[in-house]
Amino acid sequence: MGFLVGLFGIGGGGIAAPILYEVFSFLGVAPAERMHLALGTSLAVMIPASIRSFLAHRARGGVDMEAWRRLAPGVLVGVVLGALIASVSSGAALKWVWVAFSFSMATKLWFGRDSWRLGDSLPGRPLVELWGTFVGTVSTLLSIGGGAFITMMLTLYGRPIQTAVGTAAGIGPVIAIPGMIGFMWAGWGTDLSMPFTIGYVSLIAAAALVPTSVLAAPWGVRVAHGISRRNLEVGFGLLLATMGARFLISVISGR
């Protein structure tokens, strides 16, 4: 998981959530709470992995700090909105958000062209800041670091995908920390029949995933800066489509 965090800048939640969903299903967590617990726990896993990834990208000069500073405040506002929406959303609704997001982003990455560009510099206020709010809201609902949304915007404004990925990695902690707290609050008092949970966050699952994620994140960063832009885009699209297909099957089958 950490390798893919560094490679794609997606924060790790996009990888952890489907895995944790299957684990919690095996452990007998009720379907009504299973998706929420997977999302909340994956946000907890995202925090150290995305910080490590961001620092590694920044050390290679692969972060647009101007874009990061403009996006971060709006992202924080969006995280609060996302946590409030998640607290009243059903597991099926969250899965449909995942499906729509995954396939739309994969399509853009596979079939997008260099000519699909909105400009060579970021737009003025408040467009970037509003985009940050949107990213924070949807990323909290999806339990991802916002990497796909940030990467898409920055590439449309002429940034190399490696720089876009590095900048997106820096948004991960901005989403994950308040997002995790929000899921803890949303699930407070819920009986999940699992030990060592705080709201919709499983401390045991997070502790099991964090060490290897932090260790592997710099490996993904090295690969991201060593392969072509096109290969990185195709690989990212395959990852998103695979995760979207998994949740589509889950919704259709009712599992």
Rounded to an integer, what distance in angstroms lies between the CA atom of residue 43 and that of residue 185? 13
Q: Give the residue from 24, 143, 127 showing the smallest Cα distance to 70.
A: 127
C-alpha torsion angle, residues 114, 120, 121, 123 (rounded to 10) = -70
For 134-190, what is each residue's pLDDT tens digit? 888 877 776 565 666 787 788 788 777 778 878 888 888 888 888 888 888 888 877
136 within 8 A of 82, measured Cβ to Cβ = yes
Q: How many residues does the chain have?
A: 255
Q: What is the pLDDT of residues 42-77, one digit of tens each?
A: 888 888 877 877 888 788 787 888 888 888 898 889
Burial of 247 (0-12, 13-18, 19+ CB in 10 A): buried
- Note the pLDDT of residue 64: 84
Per-residue pLDDT tens over the stretch 82-128: 878 876 766 677 667 777 777 877 787 777 666 666 667 777 788 88
pLDDT of residue 56: 80
Nearest Cα to 130, choosing from 122, 120, 119? 122
Helix, strand, coil content of the chain in percent (nearest 5): 75, 0, 25
**pTM here?**
0.66
